[in-house]
Amino acid sequence: MTAAGDVARRRAEMPDGAREILDARTLTSAHRRLAEVLAPGMRVLDVGCGTGAITRGIAGAVAPRGCAVGIDQHSRFMAAARRAHADVPNLHFAVGDAYALPVRPVFDIVSAARVLNWLSAPLDALRAMVGAARPGGRVVVVDYNHRKIVWTPHPPASMRAFYAAFLRWRTHAGMDNAIADHLTEMFAAAGLIRIAASAQHEASHRGDPDFDRRVAVWAEVASTRGHQMVSDGALTEAQRAAAEAEHRIWVRDHARTQTLYLLAVEGVRPA
């Protein structure tokens, strides 16, 4: 992000432990709509690509003549991505600013997965994404409405209190907790046409192979973002630690379902 005073940028610096969460994502599990529209030969830009797990899947889908470029502001993640995916010839990574992408408008698709919800000026970043697409190219974004998460049964009171503090902390930093439901109007404001939205909700049920990992993600958030929140005075260390420990027990013994609310929104840059 460009502005040195961007509070959301400072609050959203990737904490230790976030890499494991990002590495677990794949194109087909974490960006399903993008997977549906990719085709061999496309040039694709993945904005806020993290450790490149999704970007690798993009490169595979557009091979052999297409290419995928991943951009992220975190140099540590970019170094890890280059090491992990060095065997993929049509995959490239660069440290870059989501508000001022260091690329030319040549991409058939410009994508961002779970990125705009961390920014205090997401429309500015979306406009930069539009600027990186070729005329007639497509922008595809998938993101959350954090306020519409559903757990059954309810998680422990400590986690419910942590999650409420998490949303307040994000709001204070200028981030939009309900951005999924605002993307369509943002796409129109950014000048895109032929805008469409599709539900991409992630439902996890006990018995699913990855159930524990998916539902325990909030214990991981308490373990990673939680320390930032404590430093910012959003909660105490005792509250953070209780939420993490008690949520892990709840996942192991009681949790039945979790549904994360996500929408994928896509639009076309006018020719």
Structure tokens at 122: 């997401």
Residue 113: both structure tokens together: 């997965």
Amino acid 24: pLDDT:
76
Is there a domain that residue 86 lies in?
Answer: yes
Task: Please check whether residue 1 lies inside any domain of the structure.
Answer: no
Please give the Cα distance from 20 to 232 (Å, whole number). 24
pTM of the complete model? 0.91
Q: End-to-end distance of the chain based on CA atoms, in angstroms?
A: 28
The CATH number of residue 113's host domain is: 3.40.50.150
- List pLDDT tens digits, range 36-84: 999 999 999 999 999 999 999 999 999 999 999 999 999 999 999 999 9
pLDDT tens for each residue of 131-141: 999 999 999 99
Number of folded domains that form the chain = 1
Give residue 245's region: left, alpha or beta (phi > 0; psi -120 to 50).
alpha
Domain contains 258: yes
Inside any domain, residue 83: yes
* Residue 2 within any structural domain of the chain: no
**In the chain, where do the E strands start and end?**
43-47, 67-72, 91-95, 107-113, 133-144, 150-152, 193-199, 202-205, 257-260, 262-268
Identity of the amino acid at 271: A
The domain containing residue 189 runs over which residues? Answer: 7-268
Q: ∠ at Cα 112 (191, 78), nearest 5°? A: 135
